[in-house]
């Protein structure tokens, strides 16, 4: 059984969404955020203290985009994957990594220096600069979205990776600045039954474990 360790709406949402899109059976272990401080026992499983952690027998993985790639190649074939023989393969790999390395990274600096640090350690200039970085990379890197999606003219794991960055933008209050194209792309992704099932799975797991949703901005997150 695949076991996914997760905090609500954190990067572990990428593999959760991928599992739901692929219809794979899994166990969801919901943790309070940040697990490093709020669930110290978790460090025995993942010394980094970060989520996600995917366990699959002896396999342990801690990178959300890599886990999506693992799921599609290990448990495919699926239209959600792009095969090396397909013309969209390079774009697919690019999108998987673009979503995390280029789009999510600057957002985590906004999160930290605008919201998470105690007031005396906040850095408004850094938060503003990385917010601008995020929007500039989003504008320049998303491309033309052939067929409405990032690669291969169809919905793939690359859209999950990028889609998570758009979800996080909403949690950080940045979504009001989406261009109409980005807003339409996000509406398309978040209307998917697989996305809705993933949201429902995390809602049920939060309730079952009596864990509070991740508090991204110092207030109750939905």
Phi, psi of 181 (to 5 degrees): -65, -45
Which 3 state secondary structure label does DSSP give 27? Answer: strand
User: What is the 8-class DSSP label of residue 143?
Assistant: T
Question: Is residue 100 involved in binding ligand GSH (CB under 6 A)?
Answer: yes
Q: Which is nearer to ligand GSH, 79 or 212 (CB)?
A: 212
Q: Which is nearer to ligand GSH, 156 or 161 (CB)?
A: 161
Question: Is residue 169 involved in binding ligand GSH (CB under 6 A)?
Answer: no
Question: Is residue 52 involved in binding ligand GSH (CB under 6 A)?
Answer: yes
Question: Is residue 64 involved in binding ligand GSH (CB under 6 A)?
Answer: yes
Interacting residue with ligand GSH among 50, 69, 107, 202 (CB under 6 A): 50
Query: What residues contact 93, with CB distance under 8 A and at least 6 apart?
Result: 69, 158
Cα four-point dihedral sign 123, 129, 133, 134? positive
Interacting residue with ligand GSH among 10, 82, 157, 172 (CB under 6 A): 10
Question: Is residue 96 involved in binding ligand GSH (CB under 6 A)?
Answer: no
CA atoms within 13 A on the CB side of 33: 20
Count residues near ligand GSH (CB under 6 A): 12
Interacting residue with ligand GSH among 24, 49, 73, 112 (CB under 6 A): 49
User: Among the candidate windows 50-58, 71-79, 170-178, 197-205, which touches ligand GSH by CB under 6 A?
Assistant: 50-58
CA-based diameter of the chain, in Å? 53
User: Among the candidate windows 48-56, 120-128, 171-179, 200-208, which touches ligand GSH by CB under 6 A?
Assistant: 48-56
Q: Which is nearer to ligand GSH, 64 or 156 (CB)?
A: 64
For 24, the token pair is 């794979």
Q: Where are the alpha helices (DSSP H) in 117-156?
A: 124-141
Instruction: Tell me how many degrees the CA angle 78-82-86 measures, rounded to the nearest 5.
Output: 125
Q: How far is the CB of 180 from ligand GSH (least distance, A)?
A: 28
Beta bridge partners of 212: none
Where do contacts with ligand GSH occur on this chain (CB under 6 A)?
10-11, 34, 36, 49-52, 63-65, 100
């Amino acid at each position: 059984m695949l076991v996914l360790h997760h905090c609500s709406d954190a990067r572990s949402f990428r593999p959760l969404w991928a599992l739901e899109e692929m219809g794979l059976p899994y166990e969801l272990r919901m943790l309070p955020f940040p697990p490093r401080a709020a669930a110290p026992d978790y460090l025995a499983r993942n010394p980094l203290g970060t989520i996600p952690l995917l366990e699959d027998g002896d396999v342990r993985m801690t990178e959300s985009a890599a886990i999506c790639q693992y799921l599609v190649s290990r448990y495919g074939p699926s239209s959600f994957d792009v095969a090396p023989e397909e013309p969209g393969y390079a774009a697919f790999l690019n999108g998987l990594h673009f979503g995390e390395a280029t789009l999510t990274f600057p957002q985590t600096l906004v999160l930290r220096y605008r919201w998470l640090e105690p007031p005396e350690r906040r850095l408004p200039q850094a938060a503003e600069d990385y917010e601008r970085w995020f929007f500039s990379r989003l504008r320049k890197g998303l491309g033309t979205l052939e067929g409405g999606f990032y690669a291969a003219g169809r919905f793939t794991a690359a859209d999950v990776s990028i889609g998570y960055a758009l979800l996080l933008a909403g949690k950080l209050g940045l979504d009001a600045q989406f261009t109409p194209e980005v807003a339409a792309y996000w509406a398309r992704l978040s209307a998917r039954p697989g996305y809705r099932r993933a949201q429902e799975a995390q809602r049920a797991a939060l309730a079952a474990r009596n864990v509070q949703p991740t508090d991204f901005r110092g207030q109750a997150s939905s």
